[in-house]
Structure 1
Amino acid sequence: MSYSVGQVSTFAGVTVRTLHHYDKAGLLSPSDRSHAGYRLYNEADLVRLQQILFYRELGFPLDEIAAIFKDPHANPLERLQARQRQLNEEITHLQRLAQVAERAIEVQKTGVPLTPEERFEVFGEVAFDLSYATEAELKWAHSDGQREAMARADAHTKEDWRRLMGEAAAWRLELLAAFDDGEPSDGERAMDLAEEHRLHIARWFTSCPPDMHRRIADDFAADPRAFALVVPPSHQRPGLAAYTRHAVHANADRHTGPRTDSEEQR
C-alpha cells in the first residue's frame, strides 16, 4: 500500500516541508511515484521515517542519522548508548542550573526584602554578577564549603548584611592604602590584610583554611567578576587583583608553608 505526502504528514505528525527536506538530504526518498508524478511512500519508507523521528527525538543531528543508515557496519546500539550518556550528563547539568537559578534568586533577595535604596545602602557599588554566580556554583557544586556559605548567606538579616559589608568596605580601604603606599604584597601589612579577609569569610560564610583562600584569590586574579565582589571596578587599580592574590598566597605560606610544585599544578 502506498501513501501520499499529505497522508504521511498527517499521521506521522510532521510537515510536508520536513518530508521534502528529508528527501533532499537523502534520508528518506519515497519509493514510488503516482502516474501524475506525486511522491508515494510504502511500508518500508514509513518504517524508516519512524527510525528517523526516533533518532531526532533523542537529539541526533541529521548528518549522524544519515551516517547510521549509510554505514552497513554502523552499530546503532553503541550510538544510542553514547547518546544516553550524553543525555544523562545534560540532565545533571540542567538540574544543577535549576538549583543555581533558585539560589541566585535568593542571592538577589539577599535573604530579606530590600528596597532599591536599602540595597544600595547595604551593598553600595558591589554587584552580584549572576553569570559568575552560576559558574561558581557549578564549579563548587560538590563543595561542603559552598553549600554552607550559601545556607549562611540565605540566613543573614539586613542588619547582618550591613555589618558584613561595613567590615568589607573598611578592609577594602586598608587594602587600597597598602597598595597605593607601595607595600610589598608579601610584606607583613599585606599578609595581615589577607588574613583579615580569610577570617571575614570564616566569620560570615564558611570556614576558610589557607588552601581554600588560595583558590579564592586565584579567582580574583583570573576573573574580574570575582574581584568585583570585593573591590568594585571604580576602586580598582591596575595590578591590584594580582597584588591581592600574591598577598593571600604569602599569608597562606606563612600559616602552612609554601606549596610544592606538584601541589601548585593540582
Structure 2
Amino acid sequence: MTRGPEVTEEPTGDELLTVGAASSLIGVSVRTLHHWDHVGLVSPSGRTSTGYRLYSADDVARIHRVLVYRELGFSLAEVGEILDDPSVKGPTHLERQRELLAERIDHLQQMVCAVDHMMEAQAMNKKLTPQEQSEIFGQDWNPEYQREAEERWGDTDQWEQSQRRAATMSKEDWRRIKADGDRLNQELAQAARDGVEPGTDQANQLAERHRESIARFYDCTHSMHVLLAGMYTQDPRFTEYYETLEPGLADWLYRAAAENARVHGVNPDTATWE
C-alpha cells in the first residue's frame, strides 16, 4: 500500500493535501477533520486510489471559514447552514466574518478593561477593613453579618456581582452610600408616620429609590425587591431595625415595594428571584 507524498504548503491550483498534511498546516486534528467529513461539514474534494482523503485549496479555505465561525460561537450545524447557503457568496462570507470578528474583538477589549479595573481595585485593597466598617456604619456593625450573608447567598450571581462592585468602591464611596441610605430611611419613616398609603405616587417613588439603592450592588429587579422587602418582615433583625425608625415601617416598606412592583408589571403575590 502506497501513499502520495505529504504536502506541507498551502495547496494551489490542482495541488491536493492529504488529511495529515491538512491537519498539520491548519492546526486541526485529523480526528476533527474526519468528523467534519462524516457530518458533511467539510468533505475533501478527492481521494487517493487507496481511499485516503485529499484536500484542495478550496477545501482548506472552507476549513478556515469553519474555524472562524466556530470561534464566534456558532454550532457546527449553524456553520454548515451558513456556508451552504446558495445566496451567500465567498466574499460575503469574508465580509460577514470580518464584521463578527471586529465585534468579538471589541467585546474582548471591554472585558479586558473590566478585568483591569478589578485587578486595580484588588491591588489597592479597596475592600473595607472591619475597623473601617465600624467607623462608617457605626458601632452596631457586626462583621458576622458579612459572613452570614456569604453563607446564605454566596453561590448566587447577585453575590458575585455585588462583590465585584464593592471591590471598586473607595472609603469615600461607602461614606456617601451610608449617608444616602440614612436620608432615604428617614424619608421612608416620615412617609409611614404621615400615613402615606402604599401605591400612591409618593410611596412608589420612595420604593423605587429603595430598590435603586440595592441596585448599586447588583441588578435588583422589581420582583427581587418584593422578596427582599418581604424578608424585612420575616427576619427579626431586619424588622427590629426598621421598627426603631418607625413602628410598622418594615410592613409599610413591604407593601410599598409590592405596589411599586405592580406598577411595573410584576404580580407581588407570585414574585420570584429573577
TM-score (norm 1): 0.50
Mark the CA change 1:224 to 1:15 in structure 2 (over 3 Å): closer, same or farther: same
Q: Distance in 2 between matches of 1:225 and 1:14?
A: 50
Mark the CA change 1:79 to 1:61 in structure 2 (over 3 Å): closer, same or farther: farther
The alignment status of 1:175 with 2:188, answered yes or no, reads yes
Q: Is the 1:4–1:41 contact (alpha carbons within 8 Å) kept by the matching residues of 2?
A: yes
The alignment status of 1:165 with 2:165, answered yes or no, reads no
How far the C-alpha of 1:93 sits from its partner, in A, is 3.6
The alignment status of 1:74 with 2:88, answered yes or no, reads yes
Q: Is the 1:186–1:246 contact (alpha carbons within 8 Å) kept by the matching residues of 2?
A: yes
Q: Distance in 2 between matches of 1:82 and 1:165?
A: 50
Mark the CA change 1:102 to 1:238 in structure 2 (over 3 Å): closer, same or farther: farther
How far the C-alpha of 1:32 sits from its partner, in A, is 0.9
For residues 108-159 of structure 1, what are the alpha-carbon distances to aligned partners after superposition, in whole Å with 9 as ceiling and x for unaligned? 789856324534653556988553698x9xxxxxxxxxxxxx9xx65x54xx
Mark the CA change 1:22 to 1:180 in structure 2 (over 3 Å): closer, same or farther: farther
Mark the CA change 1:109 to 1:218 in structure 2 (over 3 Å): closer, same or farther: same
Tell me the amino acid that sits aligned with residue 32 of structure 1: R
Mark the CA change 1:71 to 1:110 in structure 2 (over 3 Å): closer, same or farther: closer
How far the C-alpha of 1:86 sits from its partner, in A, is 3.6
% identity of equivalent residues: 26
Q: Distance in 1 between matches of 2:53 and 2:60?
A: 13
Note the 1:38-53 alignment, pairs <5 A: 39-42=52-55, 44=56, 46-53=57-64
The alignment status of 1:54 with 2:65, answered yes or no, reads yes
How far the C-alpha of 1:102 sits from its partner, in A, is 4.5
Mark the CA change 1:70 to 1:56 in structure 2 (over 3 Å): closer, same or farther: same
Mark the CA change 1:129 to 1:103 in structure 2 (over 3 Å): closer, same or farther: farther
Gaps in structure 2 of 5+ consecutive residues: 1-14, 150-157, 240-249, 261-274
How far the C-alpha of 1:51 sits from its partner, in A, is 2.5
RMSD: 5.2
The alignment status of 1:122 with 2:140, answered yes or no, reads no
Q: Is the 1:22–1:29 contact (alpha carbons within 8 Å) kept by the matching residues of 2?
A: yes
Gaps in structure 1 of 5+ consecutive residues: 137-149, 198-211, 248-266
Q: Distance in 2 between matches of 1:118 and 1:66?
A: 58
Q: Is the 1:183–1:189 contact (alpha carbons within 8 Å) kept by the matching residues of 2?
A: yes
User: Equivalent residue for 1:206?
Assistant: none
Q: Which has the higher contact order (CA 8 A, sep 6+)?
A: 1
Mark the CA change 1:81 to 1:214 in structure 2 (over 3 Å): closer, same or farther: farther
Bigger drift between 81-90 and 13-22 goes to: 81-90
Tell me the amino acid that sits aligned with residue 54 of structure 2: Y
Out of 213, 228, 238, the residue aligned to residue 235 of structure 1 is 238
Mark the CA change 1:129 to 1:177 in structure 2 (over 3 Å): closer, same or farther: farther
Q: Is the 2:226–2:257 contact (alpha carbons within 8 Å) kept by the matching residues of 1?
A: no
Note the 1:67-146 alignment, pairs <5 A: 67-103=81-117, 112=126, 114-119=128-133, 122=136, 129=159, 131=161
- Number of positions where the alignment pairs a residue of Structure 1 with one of Structure 2: 205
User: Equivalent residue for 1:8?
Assistant: 22
State the secondary structure of the residue aligned to 1:41.
strand
Q: Distance in 2 between matches of 1:85 and 1:122?
A: 49
User: Equivalent residue for 1:29?
Assistant: 43
Q: Distance in 1 between matches of 2:225 and 2:107?
A: 22
Q: Distance in 2 between matches of 1:67 and 1:224?
A: 41
Q: Distance in 2 between matches of 1:182 and 1:121?
A: 34
